[in-house]
Amino acid sequence: MTTTRRTFLQVAAATLPAFVLPGCAASARGMRPLSDKLRLGVIGVNNRGGDNLAGVAGEDIVALCDVDQNYLAGAAKQFPAARCFVDFRELIALQGLDGVVISTPDHTHYPAAALALKRGLDVYCEKPLTHTVAQARRLQKLAVARGAVTQMGTQIHANDNFRRVVEAIQAAVIGEVTSVHVFVNGTNWSASGKPPAVAVPSTLNWPLWLGPAKQCEFSADYHPANWRKYWAFGGGTTADMACHYMDLPFWALDLRHPSQVLSDGPEPDDFGAPVGMTTEYQFERAAKPPLTFKWWAGNMRPEAILAERGLESFRNGVLFIGTRGYLISNYDSHEVGPKAAFAGYKPPEQTIAKSIGHHAEWILACKQRTQPTCNFGYSGLLTEAVLLGNVCYRAARGKTLTWDAANLQLVGNELANTMLDATARQGYEA
């Protein structure tokens, strides 16, 4: 039997679990045949944007947007019927769109996503969901209020290995998890000091690239990719990688808001992110003991904890420590231990369906008016925790702060609280 695209989507619709957010009413567009194509606008079309554009290319790409003329011209060759824009606000105002895919630098995620949600569109947005903690909270609320189908771009969430780890942890294979260590030592988005200013390339619209950020001079270290190093536009290795690796314990342990946060590392730089840092979170859990959760980035690494278990070969990973053993995972594989205690180990029954693909899950959910697993209700909480780590590092390095999640406040630290949000330039308020 030949498998057509329509057959594939019908099978996927029957097997993919539907995740409907509480209080999330269906949008005015309603359900539609799976064979229909979504009319999509893609904002940011190179690097990650190019990958995301390829991920939704089977739909009707009616609009493209990029502040770099070279990038935009390249994408336009692939989709000659699409209208081209330099300003995402103009693309979002286009009539007849069903949704948008956002792959801009972190500092423009929120205004683009918020504007699209207010226009009644479904939204796929790259990680981290936003540039500030408060923005992540607002997007969660806005997505529910508008009945939008949303997805954050944490593509590894769709892989089989993560699903098997979630099943094992939730089946208590290693007993009750008491602590988690998440370490990423293969990535370095760090900088020290303000980078040198140079002339703006003729192909780049610098004011639109800046978007909501404060006016500053262009540097070649901002565009096309190194903006991640700088607080004004990104959040270093933590903002880049924690949403991928912290996703696994957030999913497996059904985590929400931490109660306390302690970040440490070298003396903070006013402009750039550190080469390494740690953040230790405490999570209070109903009917379970508190969970200690530690993030290690860059040149920070849980050496002794790994060595004690013979796990030094893992460069990046998630280590769950339970009352009966441990489970360690990277993107591709996982193992349980101690080996002597798990001789002949058989994994639990598979209960989480195989993903049809991270982009495909969002596309299918848009048509069915359900929610993929990385909807903003889930990924917004993950983003809040990740970005809290950076805030506490910059404002209160080495100090434990209490997080009042309900009121969006780090108790007793005014400097930290000023870093929970950002004031947008005129024209980018959302």
CATH 3.40.50.720 fits 5-157+356-378, yes or no: yes
Q: Is 90 exceeded by the pLDDT of residue 117? A: yes
Q: What is the mean pLDDT of the chain?
A: 93
Domain extent listing, the chain: 5-157+356-378, 161-192+219-351+383-418
String of b and e for 349-374 (b: at least 16 CB within 10 Å)? eeeeeebbebbbbbbbbbbbbbbbbb
Residue-wise pLDDT for 52-76, tens only, equals 999 999 999 999 999 999 999 999 9
pLDDT given for residue 111 in this prediction: 98
CA-based nearest residue to 238, from 213, 270, 275, 269: 275
Residue-wise pLDDT for 174-207, tens only, equals 999 999 999 999 999 999 999 999 999 999 999 9
Residue-wise pLDDT for 400-420, tens only, equals 999 999 999 999 999 999 999
Top CATH class, 161-192+219-351+383-418: alpha beta
Helix (H) or strand (E) holding 15: helix 5-15
| Cβ burial, residue 292 (10 Å; 0-12/13-18/19+) | middle
Where do runs of H (alpha helix) occur along 16-159? Answer: 48-55, 69-78, 88-92, 109-118, 133-145
CB 319 within 8 A of CB 139: no
Residue-wise pLDDT for 294-326, tens only, equals 999 999 999 999 999 999 999 999 999 999 999
Q: How far is CA 428 from the centre of its chain?
A: 22
Return all residues near 172 (Cβ < 8 A) that are at least 6 apart: 322, 324
Q: Is 60 exceeded by the pLDDT of residue 224? A: yes
Percent of the chain with pLDDT over 90: 91
pLDDT given for residue 415 in this prediction: 98
Q: How confident is the model at residue 28 (pLDDT cuts 50, 70, 90)?
A: low
Structure tokens at 149: 């189908």
Q: How confident is the model at residue 282 (pLDDT cuts 50, 70, 90)?
A: very high
Q: What is the DSSP string of 198-254?
A: -PPPTTB-HHHHHTTSPP----TTTTTTGGGGBTTT--HHHHHHHHHHTHHHHHHHT
pLDDT greater at residue 20 or residue 104: 104
Handedness of CA 127, 128, 134, 135 (dihedral sign): negative
- When pLDDT is averaged across residues 379-386 and rounded to a whole number, the result is 98
Q: Is 60 exceeded by the pLDDT of residue 26? A: no
**What whole-number distance in Å separates Cα of residue 343 and Cα of residue 346?**
9
pLDDT greater at residue 23 or residue 286: 286
pLDDT given for residue 371 in this prediction: 97
Domains 5-157+356-378 and 161-192+219-351+383-418 share a fold: no
| Cβ burial, residue 221 (10 Å; 0-12/13-18/19+) | middle
pLDDT given for residue 7 in this prediction: 35
Q: How confident is the model at residue 16 (pLDDT cuts 50, 70, 90)?
A: very low
